[in-house]
């Protein structure tokens, strides 16, 4: 230890940071190997509290900027004139947003808020659902190699296969395979399912399970034990013949069945949960593949250290090697896997009265989108995304004048519930703007365009 006052010791091999604070001013340098300057916390916080102008906008024109909120950004207007106070009257909130859902820090990013919250004022926000249910990436993998990651699905992943679907192979043949590392098995467990028509996973006894959803559960006789180790699971359905079950690359069972999948209920591939988030796999998944073929043992991706390349009949293959969502499909089709609960539904809060949660979804896809909330006093709240009505909520509660007329951009008061992303053309209108007049269709008219006679 460096405990002799008069004789400072040199850093040790195990020393990660060492600050002697011998500089006469900030920053203070680390004398161990890594460059890690120590700066003023307060200055750092003040710098982070600035939002930044970005040469990025819905129009894409030169000179058209937007504002980027980093999660610590603070912008507070003292609205002493009460210009943005609302009570029982019509109003409309609009904005253009561009953000990545995975960048959000809180479940409810607030775009703007008036007042201090509590019992008066209002806010406009979107709901990220339950972020604790989002998937997590892990550096653990069957191969154990650097860069080979896996995913802990938690609340599940989903793949949107709606446009030009490729997984609508419900007539078979189908082989589904994946590496799984399970902490426990406490109920029916999904590895993956498509369109609520076909799935593979485990039943509540741990038996390997192929399911023609709503028609037949085809359970193997082999019971899988969750031992927190990587195992390869595969099931191959040969229509008219049956389902063959594989564990760690070896056939362990075959069950005859002449049944087939029911009609597709959707074009969504769910990974690690069912479409509602239940039947959750408690553990990790890697190297998930779905093939439009009956694979043999030798064709399976069951060698932990040597992943096979996708086959010609492989429809989707997810290696989960990215650091987080979206996870790429390794075959030619673009089919990213994202968090199942990545919906971002618009909400208006009238503090002290109601949290109005809509079903209008803005995509957190890193592209510009227009959103609007229209309040028609005594009637309803209407929510729009990209000029289209997304939801209507009956509402007669009005708004309470805020006791403190502070208008916060990018968060609630005191920086609570921050938004991370770009914002442009924030527009607040004292009146119910008609759909055709939204700033999605028509450039906004500002108050500076008025004249008085």
Distance separating alpha carbons of residues 334 and 320, to the nearest angstrom: 14
Which CB, 63 or 258, lies closer to other proteins?
A: 63
Tokens read off for 46: 């003040």
Q: Between 2 and 297, whose beta carbon lies closer to other proteins?
A: 2
Number of residues that bind other proteins (CB under 8 A): 80
Nearer to other proteins, 136 or 222 (CB): 136
Of residues 78-97, those binding other proteins (CB under 8 A):
79-85, 89-90
Q: Is 46 in the site for other proteins (CB under 8 A)?
A: yes
How far apart (Å, rounded) are the C-alpha atoms in residues 223 and 203?
9
450 secondary structure, DSSP code: -
Strand partners, 238: 242
Which residues between 344 and 403 bind other proteins (CB under 8 A)?
A: none
Q: Between 159 and 433, name the residue whose CB sits nearer to other proteins.
A: 433
Q: Which of 76, 241, 252, 255 binds other proteins (CB under 8 A)?
A: 76
On whether the CB atoms of residues 423 and 95 are closer than 8 A, the answer is: yes
| 63 binds other proteins per the rule CB under 8 A | yes
Residue 409 as a binder of other proteins (CB under 8 A): the answer is yes
Quick one: 199 or 425, whose CB is closer to other proteins? 425
Contact status: 235 vs other proteins (CB under 8 A) = no
Q: Which of residues 13-32 bind other proteins (CB under 8 A)?
A: 14-26, 28, 30
Of 173 and 398, CB closest to other proteins: 398
Q: For residue 375, what are the contacts with CB-CB under 8 A and spacing of at least 6?
A: 86, 90, 91, 92, 348, 381, 395, 399, 432
Q: Does 247 bind other proteins (CB under 8 A)?
A: no
By CB under 8 A, residue 447 contacts other proteins: yes
Residue 452 binds other proteins (CB under 8 A): yes
- At 73, list the tokens: 């950004």
CB of 139 to other proteins, least distance (A): 12
| DSSP code, position 409 | E
CA triplet 341, 344, 348: central angle to 5 degrees?
A: 135
In the block, residue with structure tokens 């307060």: 42
Site membership for other proteins, residue 263 (CB under 8 A): no
Q: Is 306 exposed, middle or buried (0-12, 13-18, 19+ CB in 10 A)?
A: exposed
């Amino acid at each position: 230890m460096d405990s002799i006052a008069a004789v400072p010791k040199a850093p040790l091999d195990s020393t990660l940071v060492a600050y002697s604070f011998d500089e006469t001013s900030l920053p203070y340098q680390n004398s161990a190997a890594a460059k890690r300057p120590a700066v003023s916390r307060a200055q750092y916080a003040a710098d982070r509290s600035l939002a930044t102008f970005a040469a990025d906008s819905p129009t894409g024109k030169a000179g058209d900027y937007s504002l980027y909120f980093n999660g610590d950004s603070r912008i507070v207007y003292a609205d002493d004139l009460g210009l943005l106070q609302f009570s029982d009257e019509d109003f409309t909130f609009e904005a253009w947003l561009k953000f990545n859902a995975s960048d959000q820090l809180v479940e409810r990013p607030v775009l703007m808020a008036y007042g201090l919250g509590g019992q008066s004022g209002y806010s406009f926000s979107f709901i990220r659902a339950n972020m604790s249910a989002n998937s997590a990436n892990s550096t653990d993998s069957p191969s154990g190699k650097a860069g080979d990651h896996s995913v802990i699905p938690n609340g599940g992943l989903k793949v949107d296969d709606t446009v030009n679907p490729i997984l609508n192979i419900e007539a078979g043949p189908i082989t589904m395979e994946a590496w799984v590392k399970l902490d426990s098995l406490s109920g029916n467990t999904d590895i993956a399912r498509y369109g609520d028509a076909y799935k593979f996973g485990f039943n509540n006894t741990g038996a390997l399970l192929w399911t023609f959803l709503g028609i037949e559960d085809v359970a193997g006789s082999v019971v899988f034990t969750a031992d927190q180790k990587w195992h390869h699971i595969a099931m191959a359905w040969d229509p008219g013949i049956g389902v063959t079950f594989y564990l760690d690359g070896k056939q362990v069972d075959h069950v005859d069945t002449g049944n087939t999948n029911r009609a597709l209920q959707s074009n969504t591939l769910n990974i690690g949960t069912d479409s509602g988030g239940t039947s959750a796999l408690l553990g990790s998944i890697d190297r998930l593949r779905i093939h439009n073929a009956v694979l043999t043992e030798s064709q399976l991706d069951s060698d932990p250290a040597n992943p096979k390349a996708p086959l010609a009949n492989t429809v989707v293959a997810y290696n989960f090697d990215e650091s987080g969502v979206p996870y790429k499909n390794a075959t030619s089709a673009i089919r990213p896997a994202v968090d199942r609960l990545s919906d971002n539904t618009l909400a208006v809060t009238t503090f002290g009265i109601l949290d109005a949660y809509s079903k209008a979804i803005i995509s957190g896809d890193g592209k510009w989108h227009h959103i609007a909330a229209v309040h028609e006093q005594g009637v309803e709240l209407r929510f729009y995304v990209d000029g289209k009505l997304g939801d209507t909520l009956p509402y007669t509660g009005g708004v309470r004048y805020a006791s403190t007329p502070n208008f916060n951009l990018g968060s609630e008061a005191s920086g609570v519930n921050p938004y991370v992303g770009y914002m442009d053309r924030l527009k607040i209108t004292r009146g119910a703007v008609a759909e055709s007049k939204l700033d999605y269709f028509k450039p906004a008219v500002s108050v500076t365009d008025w004249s008085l006679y």
